[in-house]
A = this chain, B = another copy of it.
Amino acid sequence: MSNKFHMHKSRLEALVDGVFAIAMTILVLEVKVPNIEDKQSASALWHAIAHDGVVIAAYFFSFAMLGQFWVWHHRLTAKIREIDLPLLVCSLCFLALVCFFPFAAALFGRYITNLTAHFIYLPLMGLILATQAIFFWLAMRRDLILDSVSPIQALAAHRNNLFGCAIFMFAFAPTGYRLHGGITIVCILGGAYLLWHVIKLKKMQNQLETASSTKN
């Protein structure tokens, strides 16, 4: 019994908060202070910055994405009792992808019209979503959900995760088409499969709700 690995949630949260705080701040390092010849010229500086306008817009977009991942992760972790080894490995994969995000965001900001940049930025977001969905699914399978969270609530959270992944798959399909039609087909099939699961979970949730309301 003493050999079983388990970790306090608060420790992982401290690392996650730290990594997100730094990843968010590192995003701005890509917005470079321009070099202009006439240091006094307001218009020259303005044009130089406006030229980087896309980079700045991409910064705020990437920040919003990271913010959303952080909130999502915290909402999932709040439902979990304890971290065991598979959950920890999954969390570290999640963090590795989050730490990699500033690079993808920098690439996306600088080459916003380039297909390759999209093909790194978007699938990375998809992978981050996927690790979160797997994280919570593992927690459900391994019975690590807090007792205060009802099965209905756990199912709803899992359903939201899958729904997010499905939405991502459908949104990525047209981008995939620009590289190869096969990617689009895989995306649509994958998204449809996830959506089918979402619907199944919704039904299961409805049945549980009916059952619990009948009981009361």
- Show the binding face of A for B, using Cβ within 8 Å: 2-3, 5, 7-8, 11, 13-15, 17-31, 33, 36, 39-43, 45-46, 49, 59-60, 63-64, 67, 70-71, 74-75, 78, 88, 92, 95-96, 99-100, 102-103, 106-107, 110-111, 113-117, 119-120, 150, 153, 156
Contact = CB atoms under 8 A, between A and B. Distances in A.
Contacts of A107: 33, 45, 49
Nearest to A153: B2
Contact of A20 (B15, B28, B71): B15
16 contacts: A11-B17, A17-B21, A18-B20, A24-B99, A28-B100, A28-B103, A36-B111, A40-B113, A41-B114, A42-B115, A45-B111, A45-B114, A60-B96, A67-B95, A71-B88, A71-B92
B19 A21 contact: yes
A59 B41 CA distance: 23
A113 B40 CA distance: 6
Q: How many chain copies does the complex carry?
A: 4
Given A17-B18, A22-B25, A100-B28, A11 B114 contact: no
B20 A22 contact: no
B15 A13 contact: no
